[in-house]
Structure 1
Amino acid sequence: MVAAPVLEELREVCQPYAKLASRNGEHWAGRLYMRRISLRLTRQLVRTPVTPDQLTWTMVGCGIASGAALLVPGLTGAVSAVVLMQLFLLFDCVDGEVARWKGQNSATGIYVDRLGAYLADAALMVGIGFRAAENGLGGWLSLGIATALGVVLLKASTDLVDVARARRGLGVADDESTRPRSQGVATVRRLAAAFRIHRVTNGIEASLVLLAAAVGDTVTGGVDVTRWALIALAAITWLMVPAHLLSILASSRLR
């Protein structure tokens, strides 16, 4: 069997500084701890025939399964959702690292990766709605679906920037272009970033919020805490949809 590459050499190729330093290119949990874990798994996987696309599909499966895990009542389902969402993040790191090391980057892999992010976050929100409805239909499930739609719109509005720029023959927007041209919008954006409440619209953070709510439900009985958590997630998500659109239009990302 081929010897495993040295970690430092692997890090230099698989975890380029430009990507990890990018505000929009790397999740905070990746920088904080997951990249340390993923590199060790990547070190073993690059010695196998496994392809980056196979790892990306594994990531997608973990993300969807995270939402499905919420069909299991109590702490068991909530803990399972958190674990699966962490695995989603792990494979989201590993697929790109393996692709860089093996030189197997593909448009298919990028497409499936983005599709997986949409499906994972949406599945989790729908799962929270199902959980709030106490495994039944009705308004709570509808609220979960509406929240999932808002999350998808947030991601789509970001990705459509790349689509618009590509059709105009422009390169990828850098971090500097995300700064609003309007001083008023910039101030509001800084305030929002200071509290970082927008992060709960992402599956990683939302799964942790749900786990905290599930603990609260266990203490109080019922699902009232989960329902309040869902209301908060829905409110934040739909507040962010127009705010994010305004932020894009007020920046230089489309210029």
Structure 2
Amino acid sequence: MVAAPALAELREVCQPQAKLQSRNGEHWAGRMYMRAISLRTTRQLVRTRVSPNTLTWVMVVCGVGGGAALLIPGPTGAVLAAVLFQLFLLFDCVDGEVARWKRQFSMAGVYVDRLGAYLADAALMIGAGVRAARGGSELWVSAGLAAALGVVLLKASTDLVDVARARSGQPPANEESTQPRSQGIATARRFASIFKIHRVTNGIEASLVLLAAAAVDAGLHNLDATRWTLAGITVITWGMVVAHLASILSSSRLR
């Protein structure tokens, strides 16, 4: 078997600083701890014949599986969901790192990566809705579906900026162009950034919040914490949908 590359050499090729320092291009958990784990995983995977696209599909399975795990009653389901979303994050890092080392890039890989992000977050919200409805009102399923639609719209509104720019013959938007020109929207954006409430619209963070809710439920012997958590996530998500749309339209991204 081919010898594993040195970590320093691997880091230089697979974890370019421009990407790691990008506010929109790198998840905070990636910078905090997952990139250290992923690099060691990548070090072993580059010695195999596994392709980056295969790893991306593994990421998708982990994310969708995380949503399905919430159907398992009690804390077990919530623990499994949180673990699977950590694996989702791991493989989201690893697939790109392996692609950079092996120089195996494809549009199909980018497409499946984005599709996986949509499916994973939506699956988690739907799973939370079904979980919350157990022994209660079926309206909680609707709340989960509403949250799933909201997170999909949030991601789509960002991706559609690139679609609009590409069809207009413009290059991808840079981070400077994302700054809103409206002072009111800029202030609201800074407020959201301080309190980080927007993070619960992401499946990785939401799975941890739902895990905490499941722990409370176990102590109270009901699902009230999960239900209130889902209600809060749904409200925040739709608030973010409106705010994000306003931020896009008030920035220079579409001009």
Q: TM-score range by the shorter chain?
A: over 0.9
Instruction: Indicate conservation of the 8 Å contact 1:71/1:135, yes or no.
Output: no
- Partners of 2:183 and 2:233 in 1: how far apart? 28
- Partners of 2:110 and 2:135 in 1: how far apart? 35
- Partners of 1:223 and 1:30 in 2: how far apart? 31
- Partners of 1:136 and 1:19 in 2: how far apart? 45
- Partners of 2:103 and 2:75 in 1: how far apart? 42
Contiguous gaps of at least 5 residues in structure 1: none
Distance 1:135 1:154, change over 3 A: farther
Deviation at 1:136, TM superposition (A): 7.6
Moved more, 192-201 or 108-117: 192-201
**Corresponding residue of 2:144:** 144
**Corresponding residue of 2:99:** 99
Q: Which amino acid aligns with 1:129?
A: G
**1:212 is the counterpart of 2:215:** no
Instruction: Indicate conservation of the 8 Å contact 1:130/1:137, yes or no.
Output: no
- Partners of 2:9 and 2:135 in 1: how far apart? 49
- Partners of 1:251 and 1:34 in 2: how far apart? 32
- Partners of 2:139 and 2:183 in 1: how far apart? 40
Query: Which structure 2 residues correspond to residues 2-21 of structure 1 after superposition, within 5 A?
Result: 2-21=2-21
**Corresponding residue of 1:174:** 174
Q: Which amino acid aligns with 1:16?
A: P
Query: Which structure 2 residues correspond to residues 186-225 of structure 1 after superposition, within 5 A?
Result: 186-225=186-225
- Partners of 1:39 and 1:136 in 2: how far apart? 44
Output the TM-score relative to the length of structure 2.
Answer: 0.98
Deviation at 1:180, TM superposition (A): 0.7
Following TM superposition, where does structure 1 have runs of at least 4 consecutive aligned residues deviating by more than 6 angstroms? Answer: none
Query: Which structure 2 residues correspond to residues 1-255 of structure 1 after superposition, within 5 A?
Result: 1-134=1-134, 138-255=138-255
For residues 135-187 of structure 1, the C-alpha deviation after alignment (integer angstroms, 9 at most, x for no partner) is 78710011101110000000000000111111111112111111111222111
Instruction: Indicate conservation of the 8 Å contact 1:130/1:136, yes or no.
Output: no
How many equivalent pairs are there? 255
* SS of residue matched to 2:114: helix
Q: Which amino acid aligns with 1:59?
A: M
Contiguous gaps of at least 5 residues in structure 2: none
Moved more, 117-126 or 136-145: 136-145
Moved more, 167-176 or 233-242: 167-176
For residues 185-240 of structure 1, the C-alpha deviation after alignment (integer angstroms, 9 at most, x for no partner) is 11111111111100100000100110010001011111011000011000000111
Q: Which amino acid aligns with 2:156?
A: A
- Partners of 2:157 and 2:139 in 1: how far apart? 27
Instruction: Indicate conservation of the 8 Å contact 1:59/1:87, yes or no.
Output: yes
- Partners of 1:137 and 1:26 in 2: how far apart? 38
Q: Which amino acid aligns with 1:18?
A: A
Instruction: Indicate conservation of the 8 Å contact 1:165/1:171, yes or no.
Output: yes
Distance 1:135 1:55, change over 3 A: farther
* SS of residue matched to 2:193: helix
For residues 53-82 of structure 1, the C-alpha deviation after alignment (integer angstroms, 9 at most, x for no partner) is 000000000000000001101110000000
